[in-house]
Amino acid sequence: MATRKELIEALRERYRAASKADKARILDEFCTLTGYHRKHAIRVLKEVDVPNVQSTKPKRNRIYDEAVRQLLVMFWEAGDRVCGKRLKALIPTLLESMERHGHVAIDPAVKVMLLQVSAATIDRILRATREQIDGKKRRRSGVGSAIRRSVAVRTFADWGDPAPGFLEVDMVEHCGGIKRDGNFVHSLVLTDIATGWTECVAMPVRDQSLIVAGFAKVAAELPFAMLGIDTDNDSAFMSQTVFDYCKDNDLVQTRSRAYKKNDNAWVEQKNGAIVRRLVGYGKLSGLRATHVLGQLYAASRLYINFFQPSFKLKSKTRDGARVQKKYHAPMTPCERILALPNLDDAAKALLKVQFNELDPVRLLQRIRELQTQLAQLGEQRPDDAISDPPAKADVATFLHSLSTAWKDGEVRPTHRKKPGTQRTYRTRVDPFEHSWPMVEQWLINEPSVTAKELLGRLAAMVPDVYMGTSQLRTLQRRVKEWRQDKAKYLVLASLEGKALCA
């Protein structure tokens, strides 16, 4: 390394004063001698040694101050930690709602900066905050039933631009990870393709009659008429009960191709972005868990459909192996419905009245409370006593906690990791089990001896066992622990002696 530095110092002045042809020759020789890349060699030989001088590169002007950053963190938490592009579209709606309900009072100058901040700047400001946070089952034979054959197949490319009311449907089983036998809570998920409006229904078991009841419940709550459903080839969907319900209610029933999940891309995406994000991957079973999950979906449907912007695919082009996708600007499902030209004005008026009555902070607080109850139910065993629900916090306290919630890591109780038990046993054989009494005597006689010297003595005595340095780190830790114990003993003994003398 010293020779290389001397070579650089010797060639640097010659390189700077040389002509273009001479510089090329000097670079060839320098790269051959040092093995440097040519571009790196140019930077090294051009470098000017100016000690203790800071870089003259101009710093980026800071437009958005700490007040904007704190507000962005609070709005990010109030928006359930969405990405910068979705948060950019959400801020005006969230700001207006929170001001209407008296949660915030922002200075006009800060409000202007908050509304003009770009999505890229939002991601850059929130980057440090985010960094502190951490086999298929074969279908049984006989699937080609008469009902399945009578239901038309619809692929992902067959939708085009449908009217609101055509929903993709799927089920999510809360079995705790690996799919297993037993009765577990299921989530029935329905997503409108045109607007992204999503409804979830909690079911105690997987049953076709409960699916039909879920369809009826969703149809009564949708802001538009249900026109059709598209499902996978699950036997619960390809049943006589569901088939008759669709026929009686004039619903278009279609299904995807077998083992082609991309045909149900809209609802499959919501399974992760909504259901798993809300509920997690824990195991849920029983009527009590179903009731709590139903309450969670009752609160989250309003929060997601009115205050959660989502992307919608605009176009997709393929150039060889490269696929380029373009998306519309992020909008909430409610905003997409209000932008429809052919929707009834009375329905739009009712939707606006409902939006004005909703408080996103209260909805988020309710979601967190129900997630806490679900997390407790997932940890309880069947024979455990049912614990009382946690006490409700004040809305002002909850709002104040949004600015600092990121410091505690994961805020969703359904996603927090269980604390592991501390290991008290050894996983490997102790190589110094028999020789440690002798090593300890050496340490007593020579307190300043190093672990490397001790290992050398052991290697000289038992070369077959202690030859090499693979056990040096283990011995160093043992010696460090021994010295800490001795130091602690001396300190405590001196304190006891002072107490007795006093």
The DSSP code for 51 is T
The DSSP code for 271 is I
pLDDT for the residue 2: 55
Q: Which residue, 155, 71, 163, 150, is CA-closest to 113?
A: 71
pLDDT for the residue 7: 78
User: Strands, E, within 58-185: which ranges?
Assistant: 152-153, 166-173
pLDDT for the residue 491: 65
pLDDT for the residue 65: 86
Q: Burial level of 233, CB count in 10 A (0-12/13-18/19+)?
A: middle
The structure's pTM equals: 0.69
190, 299 Cβ separation under 8 angstroms: no
Residue type at position 27: L
Q: Residue 255: which H helix or E strand, with range?
A: strand 252-255
With the CA atoms of 75, 78, 79 and 81 taken in that order, what torsion angle do they form, in degrees rounded to the nearest 10? 90
Q: Residue 16: which H helix or E strand, with range?
A: helix 2-17
Q: Which residue, 51, 238, 15, 260, is CA-closest to 156?
A: 260
- Tell me the C-alpha distance between 502 and 496, whole Å: 10
- CATH: 3.40.50.720, 3.30.420.10, 2.40.50.180, 3.40.50.2000. Which one for 153-317+324-415? 3.30.420.10
368, 299 Cβ separation under 8 angstroms: no
C-alpha distances in Å from residue 226, one per residue of 246, 247, 269: 10, 13, 21
pLDDT by residue for the chain (502 residues), tens only, comes to 556 777 788 788 888 888 888 888 888 888 887 778 888 888 888 875 544 445 555 666 778 888 899 999 999 999 999 999 999 999 999 999 999 999 988 989 989 999 999 999 999 999 988 888 764 444 444 444 678 888 989 988 888 889 999 999 999 999 887 776 778 999 999 999 999 999 999 999 999 999 999 999 999 999 999 999 999 999 899 988 999 999 999 999 999 998 888 899 999 999 999 999 999 998 999 999 999 999 999 999 999 999 999 999 888 898 888 999 999 999 999 999 999 988 888 889 999 999 999 999 999 999 999 999 999 887 765 545 555 566 667 888 888 888 888 888 888 888 887 777 777 777 778 888 888 999 999 988 888 899 999 999 888 888 888 888 888 999 999 899 888 888 877 666 655 565 555 5
pLDDT for the residue 144: 43
Reported for 456-464, long-range contacts at CB under 8 A and 24+ positions apart, including other chains, are 462/435
- Tell me the C-alpha distance between 210 and 493, whole Å: 72
pLDDT for the residue 288: 93
pLDDT for the residue 43: 86
Residue with tokens 């997987």: 206
Residue type at position 492: L
> Is the alpha carbon torsion for 78, 79, 82, 85 positive or negative?
negative
End-to-end CA distance of the chain: 61
Using one digit for the tens of pLDDT, what is the confidence trace for 128-187?
A: 888 887 644 444 444 446 788 889 899 888 888 899 999 999 999 998 877 767 789 999
